[in-house]
Amino acid sequence: MLFNNHAREVAEAFFTITNIPIKSFRLDGNQISSIGYNRKLEGIFEDYNIFEKAMLEVKREEKKTLYMVFGPEEIYYLACSICPKNIHRGIFIIGPCSNYKNNDLRVPYKPLSTKSYLVSLIRIIWKECPNKHLQVLEENKIYSLHIKKAIDYIDARYADNITLSNVSSYLNINKSYFCSLFKKETGKTFTEFLNEKRIEKSKELLAQEGLSILDIALMVGFNNQNYYNIIFKKIANKTPLEFRQSVGF
């Protein structure tokens, strides 16, 4: 939730500065924010499958920093990762923009030569917006590249059904070696680390009204409420209900 809020803040600041519409999405297709869009622009976005086309580009070459998608009548969109260091957290889709001043759709005129500057602006806003809550690593802790990437992966996809095999495959390293390295550097097993991440995220949701405990369990990656209750009690020394009551609900 906090990450989504930060993504919204960055998008709102970008639109205020540029007047270019912008959306943000998780990689599973769930929309985080949409700013500057009207019914006409929404229709173009949907009719031309802009998100789906952007994701094809991301999957084709994950390590790029900028992706381009074209719509009708010479308009284009730019896509980039929300988090500069972790594409798995989701993407911003900037646009529509036009390479021509007098375009029939009356979308903002931004020559293609400005595309890298627009993404650079997103990065500047990202750094300048308050984001203390986005720190994944302890300030005094330095991890190896593999473990840093693993933690980024977990932080981005904790709500999915991720496994040890998923992460070791993503890192392209032996599963046994990864287990040993992860335990050595973090002091926790992969499962312990993942469960702690899920419980911390669920605490943010428990502090809100309108969500059942079952809904929250499913939202943070647990398959059933009973197992969630057991893990929550083990880590937080309270049941989810007791924690919710302690914060005023």
pLDDT digits (tens, 9 = 90+) for 119-162: 899 888 887 765 444 444 344 467 888 898 898 889 888 989 99
pLDDT digits (tens, 9 = 90+) for 60-119: 876 778 899 998 878 999 999 888 777 777 899 999 998 888 777 788 888 888 888 998
Q: Could you tell me which residues come within 8 angstroms of residue 82 by beta carbon, excluding any fewer than 6 positions away?
A: 7, 10, 24, 32, 89, 90, 91, 92
pLDDT of residue 43: 92
Mean pLDDT of 205-231: 90
The confidence band for 229, taking pLDDT boundaries of 50, 70 and 90, is very high
Query: Between 150 and 4, whose confidence is greater?
Result: 150
The answer to whether 31 and 159 are in contact (CB under 8 A) is no
pLDDT of residue 141: 61
pLDDT of residue 73: 78
pTM, entire model: 0.57
Tokens of 178: 């990864």
Which residues of the chain form CATH 1.10.10.60?
145-246
Which residues of the chain form CATH 3.30.450.30?
2-132
Q: Indicate the class that CATH gives domain 145-246.
A: mainly alpha
pLDDT of residue 207: 82
Is the pLDDT assigned to residue 187 strictly greater than 50?
yes
What fold characterizes domain 2-132? Answer: Beta-Lactamase (3.30.450)
User: What Cα–Cα distance (Å) separates residue 188 from each residue in 88, 179, 182, 185, 192?
Assistant: 23, 10, 7, 8, 6
